[in-house]
Structure 1
Amino acid sequence: MAFTHDAQASLRCAVDLANSGLDEEALGTLEALDAFCAKWDVTGRRDHTAAELAEVQALRPRLVRMWHLAAAGDETAFVGEVNVLLRESEALPQLVTHDGWDWHIHAHRPDAPLARRLTVEAAMAFVDVVRAGELDRFSICAADDCDAVVIDLSRNRSRKFCEAGCGNRIAAQAYRARKG
C-alpha cells in the first residue's frame, strides 16, 4: 500500500522526532528545533520559546509509546492512543494546499501551538496506517543495542534498521566475523 505523500512525510517526521530523544542534544536547543522544523517543512505558528521546545520534547515519549504498541501488534491500544491524541489536540480536518504541496489534510489551525500541530500530523498519519491495515510497518530497530523507532515505507517491507546507520554497522560486523 502506498501512503499519500503527506502521510509519509508525517510518519518520517514522527520517526525523526521520536528518535531525537535518544540523544539529549538532538533537539536540545531552540536552534535545533528551528532546524528540525525547516527539515520537515513545518508550517504555521512558531513561538521560538523554551516552553515551545519543552512541549515538543514532551511529545517524544508518547510517539515512542505508539511505536511500541504497533510493534507489539496491539491495534486496539494503538487506536485508543491515536484517538486520545486527536481528541486532546482538538483535531479539525480540512483540505489545504500550500508551499508547492498539492491538496492534503491539515487537522489543526495554522495558529495552533507547534507541539499540537506535530501531534495531530502524526496522529492523522497513524489513522491512515491503521485504516490500510499496515500497522506492521512500525517497528523498533533490529540492532540489539538500539532503541530507535522505524517506519518501513518500502514496497518489499524489508526495512529492519533505523536511520542512524545500524544496518551498515551490523553488516560490517557480520562481514568481519565471516572473514575472521
Structure 2
Amino acid sequence: MVFAHDTEMSLQAAVELTNTTAGPDTLATVADLDAYYSGFEYTGRHERTRTELEEVRALRPRFRELFTASREDAVEIVNHMLAEAGAVPQLVRHDPYDWHIHACPPDAPLATRITVETAMAMVDVIRTDEMSRLGVCEDQDCDGIVLDLSRNRSKRFCSTTCGNRNAVAAYRARQAGEA
C-alpha cells in the first residue's frame, strides 16, 4: 500500500469524478451521482438533487487542474481548497473502517466533502513527494487522469479501454512491420 486506505479511496474517487468527462459524460444524472456516492462509500448528507449533481460536476475542472499541477502549484490549490471549506481535520471511525480523517462535518454539502477529502488526500501525495503518481493518459485520443498506485509505477493509461486500444495498435503495428 502506497497511502492510507482513506487517502487511496479519496484519490480514486476524485480521479474517477474527473474522468467522467473523458469521452461521453458519465455523470449526467442524479442516478449517476447516486452510483458514484455509494460506489465510493461516501457517508453523510446526500440530497439527490439536480443542484447537488451540478455542484459535484463543477468540481471536475478544478480537480483536473490539481492533478496536472506541479507540486508547488498543487500546494497552493490544496491550501485554497481547505481554507475555502473551513476544513478542520478530525479522526473518526465508522463501519467498516477504523480511524481515519474527516475534515468537514457529515452535514456539509456533498461537493464540499468531496473537495475536502480530495484536498486532504493530496496533502499526503504532496508531503510524500508522490506527484508522479498522477498524470494524463498516454492514449493519444484521451485526456483522462491516471492514478498510479502500483509498486513499480508502470500505469500509463486511465482505463482498461485505453490500455487495450494501445496494446491492439502496437500489435497491429508489429504485425504490419513483419509483413
Q: TM-score, normalised by structure 1?
A: 0.94
Question: 1:91-102, aligned counterparts within 5 Å?
Answer: 91-102=87-98
The alpha-carbon distance between structure 1 residues 145 and 24, as it changes in their structure 2 partners (threshold 3 A), is closer
Q: Secondary structure at the match of 2:68?
A: helix
Structure 1 residue 32: deviation in Å? 0.6
Q: What is the rounded CA distance, in whole Å, between the counterparts of 1:109 and 1:160 in structure 2?
A: 36
| One-letter amino acid of the counterpart of residue 79, structure 1 | V
User: % of aligned pairs identical?
Assistant: 51
> In the alignment, what sits opposite 1:43?
43
Q: Secondary structure at the match of 1:44?
A: coil
Work out the number of aligned pairs and report it: 176
For structure 1, the residue ranges without an aligned partner over 5 or more in a row are none
> In the alignment, what sits opposite 1:53?
53
Question: 1:104-119, aligned counterparts within 5 Å?
Answer: 104-119=100-115
Q: TM-score, normalised by structure 2?
A: 0.95
- Which 10-residue stretch deviates more, 48-57 or 17-26? 17-26
Q: Secondary structure at the match of 1:54?
A: helix
Question: 1:52-71, aligned counterparts within 5 Å?
Answer: 52-69=52-69
Is the 1:3–1:128 contact (alpha carbons within 8 Å) kept by the matching residues of 2?
yes
Is the 1:21–1:57 contact (alpha carbons within 8 Å) kept by the matching residues of 2?
no
> In the alignment, what sits opposite 1:169?
165
For structure 2, the residue ranges without an aligned partner over 5 or more in a row are none
Is the 2:29–2:53 contact (alpha carbons within 8 Å) kept by the matching residues of 1?
yes
Q: What is the rounded CA distance, in whole Å, between the counterparts of 1:68 and 1:164 in structure 2?
A: 21
> In the alignment, what sits opposite 1:157?
153
